[in-house]
Structures are given as structure tokens and as C-alpha cells.
């Protein structure tokens, strides 16, 4: 599996990354998924302290025991769970982050985190304090690099402009091309995109017929629009799963595109899709079909700035 450089760092991540949020709760099943991922050449694993109240981090850490050197582990911070473990509140303060990272490291069973990501963000945050926390953790060797997971361009622009963050995680796929307007901005800063939502909740796989028949929606598409665009994409390239992965990797600003797997078989399906060759000419044709959108709010005219 090919690797791409994350920003301007010494981290080289597999083009296909494993988003761990959809892991089953069975440790053996998770181990099977992680084993298959490593065997396929996947080295980037993304989780968060919020997922299943930290259980997701623990499952990933247990599955990677004895193979730490083979993995680039990313997790996230900023959502503080309430004592009952059922709800959470936004807390990007330095004191919370420096405490939360200890819990993530303990659950993952590691000495340091490769990529620590702010799990959201608003323009009302004290971003200087948040960045100070990241920078301190990096100097202390607790984390190697840091980034942000957000779909708010204003928040992303400010974070990149004021920090040494190296990556931006964003939902991006053939049905959600909103991030493309900001790819040049992210590239201009020397940072990379980590794409999530690669197969648009399964709509960009062989399951699209069943999902459409069940009335599955996506973003603000109405039913007819969604049916029309997916069928037009499918007419151009029969293997939508493979097309979805290679579509996301078309722009070099994207360092890795995440796939989620609840079973080993699902993981293998995604690896097979990645290994299926899709000509660039086909991707370029798909790009003429897939509609472009813009975020409804939080936009920033970055290209007007010197």
C-alpha cells in the first residue's frame, strides 16, 4: 500500500486509513480487523476518547499490543464526558486537555500519541490556550504531532494560521465535495487532509440500491437528486466502492482516506476496492458528475488574503 506524507512531518501514512469508531465490542473480532489491516499495509488508525466512552481506544490499543512500531495512532480530545458516561460537553481548555491525554495514553497502552486532534472547535474558543496545550504536549514528547477535526472553515483557518497543527480531518466524498474549496488553503499552509466518510454511509458501495430503497438520505439532497446522482456515478464506474476511494485520493492534499469496518470481511472489501485500479480519466469524468457544494455557514474568504 502506498503512503503519503502527513503535512511536512516525518509521518508517512497509508493512503487507506482505518477509522475505528465502528469497531464491534468483541476484542477478538477487533484483533482480526486490525490484523487484516496491518497485513494489507494500513498503518494509520484513527480513534477518539469520545467513542464509546473511551472503550474504542482500549480495543484498538489491545489489538495493537506488541506491534506499536507498525502503527501511526491518532486520537482526539475536546469532548469531556459527564460522570454518568452518557453525555459530554465541549472543553478545549489546557487543563482538561493535559489531563485527558493521560487517559487516552493509558487506554491505548502506549507511551505517546502520534497524532492528537482537536475534536471540533468554535470561534468562541480560547484557541491560544488550546494551541499552547498542544505545543506543550509536543515538547514533552507526549504527542508527536497535532491537528484538528472540523468542518468549519473559519475554525480551520484560524487553527492553521496560529498553530503548528499538521492535519485537518474533514468529511469528504463524491457526494460531499464542500472541502475542495479549502484544499488549496490547507496545502498553502503545508498541511494535509484526513478524509472521513469516504463511502458516504455506504451509498458509494455495492449496497447503494438497498440503501436508496430504504430511503437513506445524505446531506441536503432530496430523494430524487440523490437517486439521480448515484445512478449517474454508477453508470460511469460500476465499482463505486473503488471509485469512492480513488476519488478521495485524487487530490494530493489528501494524505489518507478513512474506511470503517465492523468485520474483517468489510475491511478486506475496502482493501480490495483500494487495490482495484481506477484510471484518472474515469475519476476526472466522475468529478464532472458529482455536484460541488459549499458550506452553508462558517465560510472564510481565505483566497483574498495576502
Judge contact between 237 and 277, C-beta under 8 A. no
- Burial (0-12, 13-18, 19+ Cβ within 10 Å), 195: buried
Ramachandran assignment for 52, one of left (phi > 0), alpha (psi -120 to 50 degrees), beta (any other): left
Beta bridge partners of 3: 14
Judge contact between 1 and 16, C-beta under 8 A. yes
Choosing from 12, 51, 116, 250, the catalytic residue is: 51
Contacts of 118 (CB under 8 A, 6+ apart): 76, 77, 78, 92, 130, 134, 146, 147, 148, 149, 150, 159, 165
- Reading the block at residue 190, the C-alpha cell is 503545508
- 112 is known as an active-site residue: no
Q: Strand, coil or helix: what is 43? A: coil
Ramachandran assignment for 108, one of left (phi > 0), alpha (psi -120 to 50 degrees), beta (any other): alpha
How many other C-beta atoms are found inside a 10 Å radius of the C-beta of residue 131? 20
The set of catalytic residues is 51
Amino acid at each position: 500500500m502506498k503512503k503519503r506524507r502527513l503535512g511536512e512531518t516525518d509521518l508517512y501514512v497509508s493512503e487507506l486509513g482505518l477509522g475505528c469508531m465502528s469497531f464491534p465490542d468483541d476484542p477478538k473480532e477487533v484483533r482480526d480487523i486490525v490484523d487484516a489491516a496491518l497485513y494489507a499495509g494500513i498503518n494509520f488508525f484513527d480513534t477518539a476518547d469520545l467513542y464509546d466512552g473511551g472503550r474504542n481506544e482500549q480495543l484498538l490499543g489491545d489489538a495493537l499490543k506488541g506491534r506499536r512500531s507498525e502503527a501511526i495512532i491518532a486520537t482526539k480530545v475536546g469532548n469531556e464526558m459527564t460522570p454518568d458516561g452518557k453525555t459530554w460537553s465541549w472543553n478545549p481548555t489546557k487543563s482538561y486537555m493535559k489531563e485527558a491525554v493521560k487517559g487516552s495514553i493509558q487506554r491505548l497502552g502506549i507511551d505517546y500519541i502520534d497524532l492528537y486532534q482537536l475534536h471540533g472547535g468554535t470561534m468562541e474558543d480560547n484557541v491560544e490556550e488550546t494551541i499552547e496545550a498542544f505545543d506543550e504536549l509536543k515538547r514533552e514528547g507526549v504527542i508527536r504531532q497535532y491537528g484538528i477535526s472540523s468542518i468549519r472553515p473559519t475554525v480551520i483557518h484560524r487553527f492553521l494560521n496560529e498553530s503548528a497543527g499538521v492535519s485537518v480531518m474533514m468529511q469528504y466524498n463524491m457526494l460531499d465535495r464542500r472541502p475542495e474549496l479549502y484544499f488549496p488553503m490547507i496545502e498553502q499552509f503545508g498541511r494535509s487532509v484526513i478524509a472521513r466518510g469516504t463511502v458516504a454511509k455506504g451509498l458509494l458501495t455495492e449496497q447503494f440500491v438497498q440503501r436508496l430503497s430504504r430511503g437513506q438520505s445524505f446531506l441536503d439532497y432530496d430523494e430524487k437528486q440523490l437517486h439521480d446522482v448515484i445512478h449517474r456515478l454508477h453508470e460511469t464506474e460500476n465499482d463505486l466502492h473503488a471509485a469512492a476511494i480513488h476519488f478521495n485520493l485524487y487530490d494530493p492534499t489528501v494524505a489518507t482516506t478513512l474506511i470503517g469496518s465492523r468485520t474483517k470481511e468489510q475491511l478486506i472489501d475496502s482493501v480490495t476496492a483500494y487495490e482495484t485500479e481506477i484510471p484518472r480519466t474515469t475519476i476526472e469524468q466522475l468529478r464532472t458528475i458529482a455536484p460541488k457544494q459549499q458550506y452553508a455557514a462558517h465560510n472564510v474568504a481565505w483566497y483574498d488574503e495576502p
